[in-house]
A and B are shown apart, each in its own frame.
Chain A
Amino acid sequence: MISEIANAIFPREVNAGVATVHLTDDGQELTMRFPEHVQVAYRSATVRAVVSTVGDGFSRQFKLPLP
């Protein structure tokens, strides 16, 4: 399953390198390469972000991650 995950990585991670995992169709051979530098083409020049959080009943100020 892990070999089927797409390169849906965030822009800030592109330069950090990724690991690639490949399992052959017959399930006989597993290959891992790391660190690998991938090129990710983002279709849009801008991105919109969604975030989930839960209030703690006191905090009023929140920071959100940057893409």
Chain B
Amino acid sequence: MKITRSLSNDGTLCPIALNYLGGIPEKYVFFREQQQRHPASIYNLSLDKLAKAFAAVIQEYVRDTTRFSVEPNGGFDINVLLQAQEHLLHCLQEHLDDCYLILKTLVDPAKTTARAIAANEYVVDSKLPGAKSFAQATDEYRGSLTIVNKLKHNQGRLRGYGIYPGDGIYLGYFLEEPDKDGVVGPSPEIHPNQGAFSFARDLRWRFSWSILGSWSKQSSGLFGVSIKPLFQVVLRHNRRPTIGTDSSE
């Protein structure tokens, strides 16, 4: 799959979802009633935080790649990079939560009996059209963040890893936790092939995924190219005119 965003055609390099969210007339959303920001603002702030988190990791990654270009005599410490990566993983989890907040702004609180505090439960309880398909479409994305649950709830720890294949260091990381025999090492669940994650693959993969929600062409997630069908369903359900959006993708 190939996705292209250009300033001349799209007005922004951000995901197309931002165009759609920015195009919804305020009277069709209920962000004030829900005491939330406008959905475009929620998405904008979320992307901004993600962008800064990605930038912080890349900055440290480039620095450490240079710092350890030659095999170290002893110390191999990339803790600052690992802390930045852990922050990024938490931000990616928050991004999913933010997307549920966006869906929440599409629910008229006067017409729902839902009282759940968590936005993901609230939109499902409210039977918001598209909420279930969104949850299904983001299953893979959520699954890729199992590592965050391990960090938060199972004392998982990120550890540094690097290989020297002949032209400098290739940096990576792994989630460390005990296996069934009590031996501490790469998490069997997160690293089933016993390999670590290279930053070179992980960063680009997570960057793409955070924008699109899934590599699956069938994705109907909030992120990226398929946000339009979701909003059309919602707006049809509300018997309101469809929003004007570009259809270049």
Contacts and interface: CB of A to CB of B under 8 A. Distances in A.
A8 B198 contact: yes
Contact of A48 (B1, B3, B164, B172): B164
Interface in B179-221: 179, 182-186, 191, 193-201, 203-205, 207-209, 211-212, 215
Interface in B216-241: none
Interface of B: 1-8, 13, 54-55, 58-59, 61-62, 65, 68, 71-72, 76-79, 157, 159-172, 174, 176, 178-179, 182-186, 191, 193-201, 203-205, 207-209, 211-212, 215
A44 B201 CA distance: 20
Interface string A18-52: 11110100011111111100000011100111111
A48 B176 contact: no
Nearest to A10: B198
B58 A10 contact: no
Nearest to B5: A30
A62 B201 contact: no
A56 B215 CA distance: 38
Nearest to B4: A31
A29 B6 contact: yes
Contacts, number: 169
B172 A10 contact: yes
Contacts of B8: 28
B5 A9 contact: no
28 contacts: A1-B55, A5-B203, A5-B204, A7-B200, A8-B170, A10-B172, A13-B198, A13-B201, A16-B201, A28-B7, A28-B8, A29-B6, A30-B4, A31-B2, A32-B207, A32-B211, A33-B3, A34-B1, A34-B215, A44-B166, A50-B72, A50-B162, A50-B169, A52-B79, A56-B184, A61-B183, A63-B179, A63-B184
7 closest residue pairs by CB, A with B: A63-B185, A43-B166, A44-B166, A12-B195, A52-B160, A19-B208, A65-B196
B3 A32 contact: yes
A7 B2 CA distance: 18
Given A63-B179, A64-B185, A21 B207 contact: yes
A6 B61 CA distance: 11
Given A19-B204, A32-B4, 14 more contacts: A1-B62, A2-B54, A5-B58, A10-B170, A12-B195, A28-B8, A29-B5, A32-B3, A33-B1, A33-B2, A43-B166, A48-B164, A52-B76, A64-B186
